[in-house]
Amino acid sequence: MPELPEVETVVRDLRPLVCGHRITDVINGPHRLRRPWRDEWNERVVGRTVQALDRRGKWIIAELDSPARLLVHLGMTGQFTVAPLTDPLPTHTHWYLVLDGRWRWQFRDIRRFGSVELLADAPTLEAFLAKRLGPEPFALQAQPWLVTLNKSQRPLKALLLDQAVVAGVGNIYADEALFAAGLHPLHPGAATTPAQAERLRVALAAVLTRAIDERGSTIRNYVGGSGLAGRYQTAFAVYGRAGQACRQCGTEIGCIRVAGRSTHYCPTCQPQASA
């Protein structure tokens, strides 16, 4: 599933391609996405201009020149790109907007776990996201972050995957941030010291910033809004490297299950009783 760096890359790629352009048609395919598009939304979108494009967690938000907001989630295999209307329609394209009668802003999703929907206005959008998302990783404050970790007995890996704890982090960047912080994935949140919490807070921001600079990670289907793949997968310290040597100490990278997810770590650099 695309995580914060991948979604941020899509938004940055798309912003100059869609902002300021007028929506002249909506085409909804025959196959339903996870949150199906409603035909009655068409009249609230056609004729409107895209004014802004932003990200919150793993969600993409398009602001129109009306109260309505488009809310997009890429799911596991979603690709949100712009192409000339004259180009052949890619397979598995389930929804698209026509921009200025010339461009196709298209949502392609092989597994159809993604979604595109319309929310009435900004307050409705904020209420929708507030129920689901904690703070952005770049906005974490040291003391509230420590309190959040300390009030849970769950392991750090599970806490990082919880979107209500911190928004946008998924399996890849949780593993990479824990490695950068020198913390074991099973380390309990309640046992986290102020120094450990600060290392993790700093590591999250650093890992995510570097990943954004590298256009995210392409493992299978992910491409940015311009159709280009990510590069950060070549720099993984632990994720997907089980059985390989740690780039830092040479120890074999281990893999365990935490919160139902494959979790990669270095037993030497991330000792169980992390200091």
- Catalytic residues, by residue number, are 2-3, 58, 261
Cβ count within 10 A of residue 226: 15
**3 vs 1: CA distance, rounded Å:** 6
CA distance 212 to 3: 10
3-class DSSP state of 85: coil
Quick one: DSSP state of residue 189? G
Q: Decide: 178 and 156 in contact? Cβ < 8 Å.
A: yes
Tokens at 222, concatenated:
């992910």
Backbone angles phi, psi at 19, to 5 degrees: -70, 135
Instruction: Kindly list the strands in the beta sheet with 23-28, ordered across the sheet, starting from the edge strand earlier in the chain.
Output: 23-28, 93-99, 103-109, 78-84
The residue written with tokens 């046992």 in the block is 191
The whole-angstrom separation of Cα 216 and Cα 213 is: 8
Q: Cβ-count burial of 210 within 10 angstroms (0-12 exposed, 13-18 middle, 19+ buried)?
A: middle
